[in-house]
Amino acid sequence: MLDTHARKHVQPIVEKTADALIKWGFTANGVTKIAFAIGILSGPLIYWDQPFLAVMALWVSGYLDVVDGTMARKTKPSPWGTLLDISFDRLVEIGVILGLAFRFPDSMWALLLLCASIVIAMTIFLTVGALSDKKGMKSFYYQAGLAERTEGFILFTLMIVFSTYLTAITLIFFAIQIFTISQRLAEARRILK
């Protein structure tokens, strides 16, 4: 929801960062790899009980993930870059979930439910994107929903910082994912008939 509706407010800053990185010789795929390298550190940092650093790594990674897409659109987007971007995003999310699961094994069952819901939500998202004739500013049709990447980062941050309530926050995240799955299925039924 925030990615879809609030993007216009942060896009000017993203544009300036993208322009600067292009000027300095960075490529969109290069920034995607940097974002991944930073983001994947979140999981180990959680496990090593470094919540502040884990959250910082997560958000820096997320910001660079937005910048790389803007860079790609300013230069030359590629299917390979899209694949890297989407795959690395999921790996960072899995890293956070694994870091939490190994640090807080009592919450593992809730984290497993969340992981399953993310797999289902992304399967629908990517399948609709591949099958739809609609195109947006991205290289595929972007299905909006209640839980987009920014909401996920907010909830991951709450899970990391308020680990005492990890199971409850994870179950709230899971419920939001289920709602998003329902939204995306309803839209898919309308546009794919």
- pLDDT tens for residues 10-34? 889 999 999 999 999 999 999 999 9
Query: What does the buried/exposed string (b/e) look like for 44-58 if buried means 16 or more CB atoms within 10 Å of the residue's CB?
Result: bbbbeebbeebbebb
CA-based radius of gyration for the chain: 17
Residue corresponding to tokens 């502040």: 52
* CA 120 to chain CA mean position, Å: 14
Question: Are the C-beta atoms of 58 and 97 separated by less than 8 Å?
Answer: no
pTM for the model stands at: 0.89
pLDDT tens digits, 148-187: 888 999 999 999 999 999 999 999 999 999 999 999 899 8
**Rounded Cα–Cα distance for residues 193 and 191 (Å):** 6
Q: Going by C-beta distance under 8 Å and a sequence separation of 6 or more, which residues neighbour residue 155?
A: 147, 169, 172, 173, 176
pLDDT tens digits, 65-84: 999 999 999 998 888 998 99
Domains and CATH numbers, the chain: 2-192 (1.20.120.1760)
End-to-end alpha-carbon separation of the chain, Å?
24
